[in-house]
């Protein structure tokens, strides 16, 4: 319902990533899958989640006499295991173990390098063939039989920078060391509590806004998006304020809003 109310196209959803099996992170899934079926979805859906979710999905469907109109490609995350778990032509996703009350993974979404764009004038000037263009767009230089060399860097526009988004929830604040996680364009980090409940945060394996900001600093993230707020707080601007004292580019995530990955 919320997805439809926001005018987001459900067909665009190709994969669903579930960090861990606490109810607030997956109880809604079965309703969503049912709605996909009611709308006649046929496109395969990938679900990346802890392995216990798979039997739960199919048991729930069975006892409610429901079925899906599409195939599910289930990919299980392994406790404490890190590695690439999903890949398309445009991006790769790496699962990164974090520390919560139960097994939990954060996800790093990294764009693949964009194919280079060839200057139009260069196509005519060098009478480039299709295979030559494919090669040059990949950054590979062309050596013709007549001895002529065409350098990719001479005929292509500079490569667009790739973008990285790191989703990190639910977890205690961690000093992650994996180099790939540094310098991300956008870090989403949970901040269930403010510093007024720092002990409760530790006890429940969650983070405060300030701790999330410390993680953003440690990872040299360009921007921080805070989320997963405890229902006890009514004024979300307090989260932003607390985080901004340590990391200026902090923002709270409001349901239904869109946030750009690049600054």
Identified binder of Zn ion from the candidate list 77, 86, 126, 170, rule CB under 5 A: 170
Least distance between Zn ion and beta carbon 20 (Å): 6
Q: Which stretch binds Zn ion (CB under 5 A): 51-59, 75-83, 90-98, 167-175?
A: 167-175
Nearer residue to Zn ion within complex by CB, 20 or 126: 20
Q: Which is nearest to 85 in space by CA: 110, 67, 102? A: 110
Binding flags for Zn ion, 17-36, as an x/- string (CB under 5 A): -----x--------------
Least distance between Zn ion and beta carbon 35 (Å): 24
Q: Which stretch binds Zn ion (CB under 5 A): 71-79, 165-173, 211-219, 250-258?
A: 165-173
Least distance between Zn ion and beta carbon 171 (Å): 9
Task: Please state, in angstroms and rounded to a whole number, the distance separating the CA atoms of residues 181 and 258.
Answer: 23
What b-and-e string marks burial along 141-173, b requiring 16 or more CB atoms within 10 Å of the CB? ebeeeeeeebebeebbeeeeeebbbbbbbbbbb
Least distance between Zn ion and beta carbon 50 (Å): 12
Question: Phi and psi dihedrals of 13, rounded to 5?
Answer: -80, 115
Contact 252, 238 (CB under 8 A): no
Least distance between Zn ion and beta carbon 100 (Å): 6
Secondary structure class of 237 (helix, strand, coil): helix
Task: Please state, in angstroms and rounded to a whole number, the distance separating the CA atoms of residues 92 and 238.
Answer: 34
Using rule CB under 5 A, residue 132 touches Zn ion: no
Nearer residue to Zn ion within complex by CB, 126 or 207: 207
DSSP 157: P
- For Zn ion, which residue has the nearest CB? 22
Q: Which stretch binds Zn ion (CB under 5 A): 15-23, 29-37, 87-95, 160-168?
A: 15-23
Q: Which stretch binds Zn ion (CB under 5 A): 31-39, 49-57, 66-74, 170-178?
A: 170-178
Q: Is 24 a residue of the active site?
A: yes
Least distance between Zn ion and beta carbon 18 (Å): 11
Task: Please state, in angstroms and rounded to a whole number, the distance separating the CA atoms of residues 95 and 218.
Answer: 19
DSSP 162: P
- Binding residues for Zn ion, rule CB under 5 A, total 2
Task: Please state, in angstroms and rounded to a whole number, the distance separating the CA atoms of residues 34 and 118.
Answer: 45
Nearer residue to Zn ion within complex by CB, 167 or 247: 167
**Which of 24, 65, 89, 235 is flagged as catalytic?**
24
Nearer residue to Zn ion within complex by CB, 22 or 197: 22
Contact 140, 115 (CB under 8 A): no
Q: How far from 191 is each of 199, 206, 211, 224, 236, CA to CA, in Å?
A: 13, 7, 8, 11, 11
Contact 197, 208 (CB under 8 A): yes
Residues annotated as catalytic (active site), given as ranges: 24
Contacting residues toward Zn ion, per CB under 5 A: 22, 170
């Amino acid at each position: 319902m919320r997805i439809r109310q926001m005018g987001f196209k459900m067909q665009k959803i190709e994969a669903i990533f579930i960090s861990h099996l606490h109810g607030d992170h997956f109880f809604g899934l079965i309703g969503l899958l049912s709605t996909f079926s009611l709308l006649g979805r046929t496109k395969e859906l990938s679900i990346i989640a802890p392995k216990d979710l798979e039997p739960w999905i199919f048991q729930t469907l069975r006892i409610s006499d429901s079925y899906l109109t599409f195939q599910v490609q289930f990919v299980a995350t392994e406790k404490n295991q890190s590695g690439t778990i999903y890949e398309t032509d445009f991006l790769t996703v790496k699962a990164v173990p974090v520390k919560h009350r139960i097994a939990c993974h954060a996800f790093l979404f990294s764009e693949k390098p964009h194919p280079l764009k060839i200057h139009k004038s260069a196509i005519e000037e060098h009478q480039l063939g299709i295979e030559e263009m494919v090669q040059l767009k990949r950054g590979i230089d062309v050596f013709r039989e007549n001895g002529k060399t065409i350098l990719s860097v001479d005929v292509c526009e500079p490569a667009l920078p790739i973008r990285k988004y790191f989703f990190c929830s639910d977890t205690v604040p961690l000093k992650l060391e994996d180099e790939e996680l540094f310098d991300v364009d956008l870090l989403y980090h949970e901040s269930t509590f403010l510093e007024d409940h720092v002990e409760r945060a530790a006890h429940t394996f969650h983070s405060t806004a300030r701790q999330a900001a410390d993680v953003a600093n440690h990872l040299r993230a360009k921007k921080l998006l805070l989320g997963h707020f405890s229902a006890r707080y009514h004024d979300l601007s307090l989260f932003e304020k607390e985080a901004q004292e340590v990391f200026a580019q902090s923002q709270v995530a409001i349901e239904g809003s869109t946030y750009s990955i690049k600054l």
